Structure 1
Amino acid sequence: MVDRSCAELIAEAAAAPVDGWGFDWLDGRATEERPPWGYARQVATRMAGVGAALDIDTGGGEVLAEVPQPPPLLVATEAWPPNVAIARRTLRRLDGRVVQVGPGSRLPFRDDAFDLVTSRHPVDTWWAEIARVLRPGGRYLSQQIGAGTMRELSEAVLGPLPPPATRHTAQAVAAARAANLDVVRLEQATLRAEFHDIGAVVWFLRKVVWTVPDFDMDRHRPQLERLHRLIRAEGVFVAHSRRFLIEAVKPAA
């Protein structure tokens, strides 16, 4: 096996596309355990039994692409223009449509429009808007990023950080209840992630931008070189992602 330099690996990762929400580029270079609840399977099961569904922050529509029996009305929202184009191609095969909605914008749908609202790894969760567009008896199902996710990687680049202030499950439950939704399911998981070369680290940081806000390959080059040496010495850099599954129901009228 050729021992590639830190600079070569970083340059390769810098040139690789990060559109969409798939992680195929990391195959053979990084691994992450999957949550035990099988989010895509949960979404597919619920969509098979509803008439109208909305997926918020759909990315490239990767979760919806796995739905074998989409509902008659399937809509997704996405903010980032490159992802919007990918998602539209994905949903075209499912007779669905994609609406570009900016961060923090009101959902452009009427009240009580959907039986099911889903979202994997939303940037923010606007609970009041979700409650508004759900029909009475409708459900919101979401896999979310948990507090302190990938903290080891964040601190390897940024140094010691204070305890995380957001993305705690108790905050999500309180916000759901404040929007008059009943939380019927809550599960949490801590998942091992392994990075086998510095290129995988760089690509991940470019894609999952909240891990190291304002990540810059030049400014953070000393930290990347230090991580490269660690991976060369130990064979792997280990971090842990945190996820939680939350399901909430809008009470029947």
Structure 2
Amino acid sequence: MARIPKSKMSHLSYEELVHDGNTSSVDGWDFSWFEGRATEERPSWGYAKAMSNRMGKASAGLDLQTGGGEVLNTVEKFPPLMAATESWPPNLALASKRLGARGIVVIADRDQPPLPFANEVFDLVVSRHPIAVCWDQIYRVLRPGGTYFAQHVGHRSGFEVSEFFIGPQPDNMIRSPDTARAEAQAAGLEVVQLKFERTKMEFFDVGAVIHYLRKIIWLVPDFSVEKYADKLKGMHEYIQTHGSFVAYSSRFLIEARKPLA
């Protein structure tokens, strides 16, 4: 017997779920919208807390690609010098409002080199789920002995969702932890910590899937409700039958240090 869907929106019709997922705001990296509609396990290392502890001991910190500033805003004590970057205008506005209230400068940056900072300014550079990582630039702005501490999205993250809509995808190892280690070392950094985990995601209604694909745009780059109407109907029927759609995210924690000499 099929499970009863867990979604708090299960009383809505298919058309209402599609409309809700397609019209809700996807600005920022606040995922509270998914409460009661989708879940994702968190990696065991607890990035936000670990990052906050490091910030409390730093003298100059930088958060790259801060999104709406949601994660950085969880830091309890900021260093005397603190800055953040963001490229997407809606996120930039959110971050500027949220972090500006705490005295943090948020700088518009295109996520392309060079970073808009002088050499050897920061003793701690952090990032959560960066789209692109410019290791040479991270090395340049770090002080000798400084640290890059970040949580990255790994290879084949959420591919079960991608492949439902667009078929089998190549195993892109560009985002693998081994690739990150090699690139960090090539830039002159010493990798002192590297952890990898795959964690379970579960979607309980098709509206949550739509919202997710609109937010994580690289999973199905040409996604639209109109173009994938048949697939969405199939997804809805699958969830109605099985109670949820399960996928797996991949995350890795990397800590790299700039040598003193």
Q: TM-score interval w.r.t. the shorter chain?
A: over 0.9
Tell me if 1:170 matches 2:175.
no
Offset of residue 91 of structure 1 = 1.2
Distance of 1:199 and 1:142 partners within structure 2: 31
Pairing partner for 1:129 from 137, 142, 160: 137
Residues matched between the structures, number: 253
Distance of 1:130 and 1:65 partners within structure 2: 22
Offset of residue 2 of structure 1 = 5.9
Distance of 2:34 and 2:59 partners within structure 1: 36
Query: 1:198-217 alignment to 2 at 5 Å?
Result: 198-217=206-225
Distance of 2:223 and 2:253 partners within structure 1: 28
Instruction: Report the TM-score, using the length of structure 1 for normalisation.
Output: 0.98
Offset of residue 106 of structure 1 = 1.2
Offset of residue 221 of structure 1 = 1.0
Tell me if 1:78 matches 2:86.
yes
Instruction: Report the TM-score, using the length of structure 2 for normalisation.
Output: 0.95
Offset of residue 6 of structure 1 = 2.0
Tell me if 1:19 matches 2:27.
yes
Residue deviations 1:198-251 (CA, integer Å, cap 9, x gap): 000000000011111121111011111100000001110000000000000000
Offset of residue 5 of structure 1 = 2.4
**Percentage of matched positions with identical amino acids:** 47
Pairing partner for 1:49 from 57, 60, 71: 57
> The residue matched to 2:175 in structure 1 has which SS?
coil
Tell me if 1:252 matches 2:232.
no
Offset of residue 104 of structure 1 = 1.5
Offset of residue 51 of structure 1 = 0.9
Offset of residue 105 of structure 1 = 3.5
Pairing partner for 1:141 from 137, 149, 153: 149
Is this contact kept in 1: 2:85–2:109, CA < 8 A?
yes
Is this contact kept in 2: 1:70–1:94, CA < 8 A?
no
Give runs of ≥4 in structure 1 deviating > 4 Å: none
Residue deviations 1:57-80 (CA, integer Å, cap 9, x gap): 000011111001011111000000
Query: 1:29-108 alignment to 2 at 5 Å?
Result: 29-108=37-116
Comparing 1-10 with 151-160, greater Cα deviation is found at: 1-10
Comparing 203-212 with 158-167, greater Cα deviation is found at: 158-167
Which residue number in structure 1 is paired with residue 3 of structure 2? none
Distance of 1:163 and 1:102 partners within structure 2: 27
Residue deviations 1:7-45 (CA, integer Å, cap 9, x gap): 211111111001111101100000000010000001100
